Structure formats: structure tokens, C-alpha cells
Amino acid sequence: MHKEVQIDGETLTIEDVVAVAYGRAKVCVPEKVKARVGRSRQILEKIMEKGEIIYGVNTGFGALSSIVIPKDEIKQLQKNLIRSHAAGVGKPLETEVVRAAMLLRANTLAKGYSGVRLEVLETLVEMLNKGLHPIIPAKGSVGASGDLAPLSHMVLVVTGEGTAEYKGKIMDGKEAMEKAGIKPVQLDFKEGIALNNGTQIMTAIAALNVHKAENLIKVAEIAAALTMEALLGVSDALDEKIHRVRPHAGQVATAKNIKKLIEGSQLIQTGKEAITSLGRLHDAYSLRCTPQVLGAARDALAYARKVVETEINSATDNPLVFPDEGVCLSGGNFHGQPISLAMDLLGMALAVVGNLSERRIARLLDEKLNNGLPAFLVPPSAEKGLHSGLMTAQYTAAALASENKVLAHPACVDSIPTSANFEDFVSMGTTAAQKAAQILENTEYIIAIELLCAAQAIDLRGPEKLGKGTRKAYTAIRNVVPMLREDKVLSEDVERIKRVMYTLLRPEQPSQPRRQQAS
């Protein structure tokens, strides 16, 4: 994990965001960035000295932009902007999301197009490094002009107002800044709008979604491999020759991964062997088409990663100062449509991953389809009927898969006008990102349930027959959850597997997000 992340507005990665959000890596501002930010401010000051009318700097906002604000009131304008736009509601965003958003906002300022004083950037960074986190209500953004409401709640604390969390306690923003030894910013012209115009909330959620989703796909491949062995699956569908002639990158990677996981298995058969032993040449689609389905999800996530990594290194506030040309221009880079589309795609991809896993779970538990295993994987030592085994685990998976289908309805196609129809087409990007995060969590539970069922089935087949990769995964599961020998509460086992399943990949996975609690 990174110990230090430098922000220059150009090279931040999703892994950097994860390191700061989860790993509390220190954030540093290079000297070249400080010079760039200073120059941008100087140019803006020169433009202001000429008496030019600049949107949001010496005018009202949105539908009030035709009103010119007197010079002696433009500082109050910025303070009023933040106060009036801090209109979010609902539960607070998770601490990790807040940290990611603060980092992304700082990285945007570091590009040198926002026209703020250096102290604004340095204050955000100092808050991050000292673990001072604004409390930001999760609801209230329509995704244009970016994340106005949630970012305004962030900025309140920067100015010594609002509510913050510091050292595990929630308190007044002013008190938190004092305890942390950070001097609040007194907003000057342009600085309020430079801080609350932008896509940093939706992009913060999106970056963390992409990171975890990419790892979840790998866990889903492990679950599929275990299930394939438990169901005496046919290996022909994994043959490299099949995927070479339909060379989607994700499909090729998934087939290769599963084939490697089951290497050495005594449970997997070829088509010729299966026709003799089981009377069939190939498996049901939920097994046979796993490379095609999970591979398509992989490709969707690759697109989402590309969009998110472009966005985290973009200037998304408005207006923008261009020092080389000596101009300040108003545009629409705050519009969240790229993130909105990417997150809806990610959400749909993960819903498909969950759907496929649920179908494999159902097959594992159905004695008509599981090639000789007992109904609901009730062990032979337990009386069938008296014991229900893993029957209801599939109910939960089905409920989550169904919920995902509802959540997968795209937010990006929706729009509702704001600001008296001045802002008449919005992105709903934050809604898309938040929906995708919920789909992701639901799918984590579905995969955990599949791992639980597959491990139980493997116990009944004989774990010593597993492949090299799947044996390691099975052992890791059994280290936290024992074989089911009689009916018990299943939710605890599912939670345990969910907590450890990313360690099937590597031990340095970030922990689950911690929700802020009132002191």
C-alpha cells in the first residue's frame, strides 16, 4: 500500500485513491503544483482588475447569473453560495468516500485552472492528512453543476462551519478545525464556486466501486471454479481454442483464470468422459458460458476504469482560468454524464455477475441438477426433512439478485430540470454511482453464498480431489466456516465468508467501509 500520494492533477490513479481513502496514505503537493496554482490565481486577479464580468465570480449563480454583484460583496457571494447550496439530506457518506472526494477535489485544484489561492488547496490536504472529515449527507446531488449540495457540505468545514468527524467523534466544524490545528479558509472571489462545482462525490464513489468490482470479478471466477468442480463440470468450454476465435479480452482472461484454478482437479471431466459417466457432452449455460458472461463484465469494468481515471485527473469546476491565454471561460465540465453512464454500466455488469452466481447456487442445491449430491446439500448424517440444509441461502441470493435488477435501471437516462430551467439537463451521476455501490454489495453477498454452497458440495465430493487453485480457496473458506453437519443459523457464515473472500486474491485488500457513527 502507498505511504505517500503526490497530487499533480495529471497522474492520480484509482489505486492512489484507494490508498488515501482506505489506507490513509499521506497526500503531498509538489512545488511545481504550488507554482502553477499561484500563477492561475495571479491571472484571475489581473482579469478581475480589468473589470470583466465573470460568471460566479462577480455574478449570481444559475438562473441569477445575469445579476452583477458589486465588488465589495463578492466575498460574501462565495460564502452565501456554500451556505445556500449545503442542502443535502439523509445518512452521511462513508468516511472513505469523503476522503476520496477530498483527494479528488484537491487534485482538480492542483491542475491550476481553478483560480484559487494556494492556501485553499493546502487546507484540503492538511485536513486529509490529519484525518478531519466533513460530514456529508448522501442525498441531494443531480450531477450538474456537478455535486453541488454534497460538495458544499464539504466546503462548509473548510471554512470552519458545518459538521465534521475528527478522531472518531462528530462535532461542529469550527471545533474540529481548532482541535486539528487547522486554520479555516476565508473564501475569496471565485473560491466557493471552485470548490463546489465538480463531479468529485460521484467520481469518488465510482473510483472505489471500480477497484472493488474488479476484485469481485476475480472472486466470482473462484466461486465459479469451485462450483464447476462440485458439479463435475466439463472442461471443454474452457479450451483456449474456443476463446481465441472470439477474442474479447475479458472472456479470454476469465477462461484462462478458471482453467488455472482447476488445474489438477479430479472432479472436472472432458466432454468424452462426461458422455460416458453422466450421459451429457457439456454443461448448462451457467457453467459453460461463465467465461463469456464474466468476461463481458470484465470488459465493462475496463471501460468504467478508463472513464474514471480520466475524470479524476480532469478540471471539472466552472468557470476555468487558462493562464497561458489569460482568459476565464464558463463551460460545462461539471456535468457528470461520463460517470453516470460508466456507473450504470458497472451496475448492470455486476447485476449480471450476481444473476449468474445465483443460478449456479440453485443448481448446487437441486438434487435433480447437481449430479448426485443430496438435496440442499444436507449431509448424509443429517435426516432429510428434519434438516433443510442450505435451502434458504438460495432464497437470500434470489432476493438480492432480484433487488439488483431493480437497481440496474439506468439513472443516466433520467433528467429533471433545476434552477428555474436554467440547468435543464442533468446527469444523475451520483445516483448512478450510489446504485452501483449497492449492487456491488448485494453481489458480494451472492458470491459469498455461492462460496458457502460450493464448499459444502466439495465436502461431499472430497476436497482432496480439488484443483490446485480451488483447493487453496476451499481451505481459506473452511478456516472461517466449518462444514454444515446439521441445521444452523446461516447468516453468520455468509457474513464471515464475505469478510474474508477478498483474501482469496491477496491479503492487502481494503477493509469494508466503516460508516460514521454519531459520538
Residues 6+ apart with CB under 8 A from 286: 356, 359, 360, 363
Residues 6+ apart with CB under 8 A from 78: 187, 188, 189, 190, 191, 192, 193
Residues 6+ apart with CB under 8 A from 494: 393, 396, 445, 448, 449, 452
Copy the grid coordinates of residue 492.
453468520
Q: Nearest 5°: phi and psi at 367?
A: -65, -15
Distance CA 83, CA 85 (A): 6
Handedness of CA 42, 48, 54, 58 (dihedral sign): positive
Q: Nearest 5°: phi and psi at 44?
A: -65, -40
For residue 422, the 8-state DSSP code is: T
Distance CA 375, CA 369 (A): 10
Distance CA 236, CA 107 (A): 49
Distance CA 485, CA 495 (A): 19
Cα Dmax for the chain? 89
Residue 42 β-bridge partners? none
Residue 234 β-bridge partners? 269
The one catalytic residue among 22, 55, 113, 474: 55
Is 55 among the residues known to form the active site? Answer: yes
Neighbours of 290 (CB within 10 A): 28
Catalytic residues: 55
